[in-house]
Structure 1
Amino acid sequence: MKLHELKPHAGSRKDRKRVGRGPGGTDKTAGRGHKGQKSRSGAGKGSYFEGGRSTLISRLPKRGFNNVGVTFEVVNLASLDMIEDAVTTIDRNTLEIVGLVRRKNRPVKLLGNGELSRALTIHVDAASEGAVKAVEAAGGKVILPAAKTESAEKAE
């Protein structure tokens, strides 16, 4: 027996049903009956539909405060201390290469968890007061983006 002579057993393979392709039982309406919502393409109401009444999520009480604030990528001082000694300036690109920052659409915030043993210049979007003091105590500095003022906005 050769590869080109191989065939499946008789009756083990069956062609799929091609509806709406001419006479033969599944032509014309293609097994969907006549007219009505379910006969149209894209038919159906989705699993969330509850027969016209208000959906469950809109019927439940809303409580508390939903803070739609900024979510930061957090970097701690302890993790910065693990970066090799040759690096003295740390910015977002460095943090991405090292693997401390993953999501590109989130700003980076420096937190003061841990200790810093060497002087570093750190460029981040935000930093806690404790983190800034710890970096300055180690002889480095934290550079934050300049906050927009009203006069700067009017100039634009």
Structure 2
Amino acid sequence: MKLHTLKPAKGSVKNRKRVGRGQGSGRGGTSTRGHKGAQSRSGYSRKSGFEGGQMPLQRRLPKFGFNNIHRVSYKPINLDTIQELVEKTNTTEITVELLRENGLASKNDLIKVLGRGELKAKVEIQANKFSKSAIEAIEKAGGKATKL
């Protein structure tokens, strides 16, 4: 095999459709655009959701609900996840930075520790919020829950 003998596989490369190059090409005249109308003109672009004048789906469906702009959302992290992290990193202090480094939270996430699972290790945990069950489980294991 040499560089000058390399070719694409048979049938993998097709010539592009050359439209508007005279009647002999078979695609002259209207250039596969049909006769008249907006779609035959240059510069035409269909609006997204346009259904040919039929009432579009997004207008047929009713509006409902709203987004509360004052909502504060927290990234939930459970005790079983913290236990896994403690076993993996072999640390006794769980900070927000440590959670971010291990991919459990993003840069601007507020963190809430929830009480699912069992915590065996004695750890000091820093987070923005804790559930009651999480605080009880942390203190029962001999650890400490610190709100930021």
- Name the residue aligned to 1:154: none
Report the secondary structure of 1:122's partner residue: strand
- Name the residue aligned to 1:95: 99
* Alignment pair present for 1:122 and 2:128: no
Instruction: Give the structure-1-normalised TM-score.
Output: 0.59
Identity %: 42
Asked if structure 2 preserves the Cα contact closer than 8 Å seen for 1:37 and 1:44, the reply is no
Question: In the TM superposition, what is the alpha-carbon distance from 1:87 to its structure 2 partner?
Answer: 0.7
- Name the residue aligned to 2:141: 138
CA-based RMSD of the aligned residues comes to: 3.9
Report the secondary structure of 1:81's partner residue: helix
Question: In the TM superposition, what is the alpha-carbon distance from 1:110 to its structure 2 partner?
Answer: 0.7
Query: Matched residues in 1 for 2:80 and 2:14: separation?
Result: 63
| 1:10-49 mapped onto 2 (5 Å cutoff) | 14-19=14-19, 23-24=21-22, 31-32=32-33, 36-38=37-39, 39-41=41-43, 43-46=45-48, 48-49=49-50
Query: Matched residues in 2 for 1:51 and 1:34: separation?
Result: 17
Change (3 A) 1:17 1:136: same
Query: Matched residues in 1 for 2:96 and 2:102: separation?
Result: 10
- Name the residue aligned to 1:56: 57
Asked if structure 2 preserves the Cα contact closer than 8 Å seen for 1:49 and 1:55, the reply is yes
Change (3 A) 1:52 1:107: farther
Change (3 A) 1:88 1:66: same
- Name the residue aligned to 1:153: none
- The alignment covers a number of residue pairs equal to 138
Letter in 1 for 2:92: T
Query: Matched residues in 1 for 2:143 and 2:7: separation?
Result: 74
Query: Matched residues in 2 for 1:7 and 1:133: separation?
Result: 69
Change (3 A) 1:96 1:36: same
Instruction: List runs of 5+ in structure 2 lacking aligned partners.
Output: none
Structure 1 residues 62-113: Cα deviation after superposition (integer angstroms, max 9, x where no partner): 56x66755553322112222323731111233224445x1554543221111
